[in-house]
Structure 1
Amino acid sequence: MGKKNRISQLYLNKLGIIDEIVEPTLENLNRLLELHVQNIAFGNLNSFLGLGVELDIATLVEKILVQGRDAYCFEHHVLVKNVLNELGYDTFNVLCRVYYKSHPTESPAKTHLVTVVRLNGELYLFDPGFGGMTPTSVLSIHALETSQVTLNEPFRLIQVADSGLIDSALFDMKYMLQVCVLGEWENVYAFNPEQIAADSDIKIANWFMSTYPKCSFTRNLILSIVKQDKRYNFSNGVLNIHNKDNETQQQIIKSADELKEIFISIFKLNLDALNIDDAIHKFQAL
């Protein structure tokens, strides 16, 4: 229990946890998530540049933990499932349908991946990979209808029947994650923890989201990270900084030098490991 192997050691070092045994407790699980979202940026540079996204663990360790690169949901969650298992947690991945800022009448595809942790007989949602609105603390899946405090906005889990969406939009889903913004609860994504994702299904979803020409991850440059109670969300030259009171500051990034600066200072990216000039060229052509 709490044993550190090579992957988990690199991960803990990335999070700033050095020379420490991390026992598999709820307190430590929450600590890992809070540090993860503040030290590993969500981003889609590979899919934006048409480079492909590989999910084998050796590639993910090299890209995220060694090179200091960005990652999007599939990469974050394949990595953390391996890390948490090494640390003694009982974890599995689940594919989700996304409803954030949408009200579909048919079920959207399963395009988001999360990690579920079974601990002391209860299930917890551990999700550092939903970008600009990812929950920044561990959420109890059993505490339905209960507002749960995070580093940022309150979140809650409800039965999908109470989400305000019609049944045809919720095929085979069980729980809906919601976030409270300006006093209103908004749907984020739905999942069924009884449906453990097969590696083959994760690979297909990842391939689609990283290659489909009309997908936001191939058309737009997106980065997100959290710094204490603030979210830093970048999309196509606009940097938005949101605080816990739902106040937003906006900065327009106009030059290549400005872009490089925020990559380093805000998103903690290693420019030497990026195709930075290609990214800037495509970004400026948008």
Structure 2
Amino acid sequence: MALDIDAYLQRIGYQGEKLPTLSTLQALQHLHLQTITFENLNPLLGLPVPLDRHALMDKLVHQRRGGYCFENNLLFLEVLTMLGFQARGITGRVYWNQPDDAWPARSHMLLLVTIDGEDYLSDVGFGGMTPTAPLNLHARHPQSTPLEPFRVDAHQDHYSLWVQLGDQWRLLYRFDLMQQGAVDFEMANWYVACHPQSKFVNNLIAVRTDKNRRHTLLNDLYTVRFPDGSSEKHTLASLTELWELLEGIFAINMAGVERSSLEKALKEKSLFRQ
């Protein structure tokens, strides 16, 4: 079954040309991040996270839910391919909020897109600090986006992606260009969705990018992050407040989520301090 490209474009509000150009990629990435939220309700609730085309379209487009990197980026890859882009998935090791000398698993998926002979990184699924525009893989200077500046560094056997917050550069992830296939994404997806120690099994996470800020949720802590590195934090007081936040600010259709199951998971994992 072919992807319903028109349904996806309507979902994110894109009305521009359907041509495989850099301006099209920039617009699609920007709108996707504002519309389809990064969220992990399924792993938290012990529900499956299928990655086939039908499941991704049903959840992220028709049900108007969100997802994490494998869901968002695999759907985005399908869209780009249908529009004629030369694109493929690659994987990386996440260093955000980890020591620089750590050795995390390859738990993140991103895209390599080639346009007119130039290679770009495109990512709609990193969560808290997803770049809001494609980044030139071979540029070594800071690259501006609608929000924070980013920088791609080249190393002997890999690349690294950095974000500037205020006057600090923070390492997001390290990656290489090794070809990845469906089996690689399925393996990593199983770990992220099912492993007892996965942060997505043990925390509630949601992120949505706005025009001039990022909305992030970690369990009962709601944070608004600004491009200059500053932030505003608020601890949620009740499940009702959480539910309204997920439906409102995070634009997640919660109709298919059992409220009692979410409350049970939050209590069992001690994710709410109230």
Residue from 202, 206, 228 that aligns with 1:219: 202
Among candidates 51, 55, 62, match of residue 59 of structure 1: 55
Q: Determine the C-alpha separation between the residues in 2 that align with 1:114 and 1:147.
A: 19
Match of 2:21 among 9, 21, 25: 25
- Counterpart residue number, 1:166: none
Question: Aligned pair 1:15/2:12, yes or no?
Answer: yes
Equivalent residues of 1:69, 1:274 under 8 A apart: no
**Residue 14 of structure 2 contacts residue 31 of structure 2 at CA under 8 Å; is this kept in 1?**
no
Q: Does 1:85 align with 2:81?
A: yes
Offset of residue 272 of structure 1: 0.9
Q: Which moved more, 1:88-97 or 1:177-186?
A: 177-186
**Distance of aligned partners of 1:70 and 1:277 in 2 relative to their CA distance in 1, 3 Å threshold:** farther
What is the CA distance between 1:247 and its match in structure 2?
1.7
Aligned residue number for residue 38 of structure 1: 34
Q: 1:192 matched to which residue of 2?
A: 176
Residues 12 and 32 in structure 2, CA contact (< 8 A), matched pair in contact too: yes
The CA distance in 2 between the partners of 1:11 and 1:160, in whole Å, is: 37
TM-score, with length taken from structure 2: 0.93
* Alignment check: 8 A CA contact 2:151 2:163 kept: yes
Residue number in structure 2 paired with 1:250? 233
Matched AA of 1:249: E
Please, what TM-score do these two structures have when normalized by structure 1? 0.90
Q: Considering only aligned residues, what root-mean-square deviation do their CA atoms show, in Å?
A: 1.5
Q: Aligned partners of 1:225, 1:280: CA distance in 2, in Å?
A: 22
User: What secondary structure sits across from 1:91 in the alignment?
Assistant: strand
**1:274 partner amino acid:** V
Report if the CA contact (8 A) 2:76-2:124 is conserved: no
For 1:145-184, list aligned pairs within 5 A: 145-160=140-155, 173-184=157-168
Q: CA deviation at 1:70?
A: 1.6
SS at match of 2:128: helix
Task: Give structure 1 stretches of 5+ with no counterpart.
Answer: 162-172
- Which residue pairs with 1:170 in the alignment? none
Aligned AA (1:27): S
- Alpha-carbon contact 2:64-2:252 (below 8 Å) kept: yes
Residue in 1 that maps onto 2:184: 201
Work out the CA distance in 2 between the residues paired with 1:21 and 1:230.
27
Q: Distance in 1 between matches of 2:77 and 2:30?
A: 16
Which residue is 1:121 aligned to? 117
Runs of 4+ in 1 over 4 A off after TM superposition: none
Aligned positions, number: 268
Partner of residue 67, structure 2 = 71
Structure 1 residues 6 and 228, CA, compared in 2 at 3 Å: closer, same or farther?
Answer: same
- Taking only the aligned residue pairs, the percentage that are identical comes to 33
Shift of 1:104: 5.2
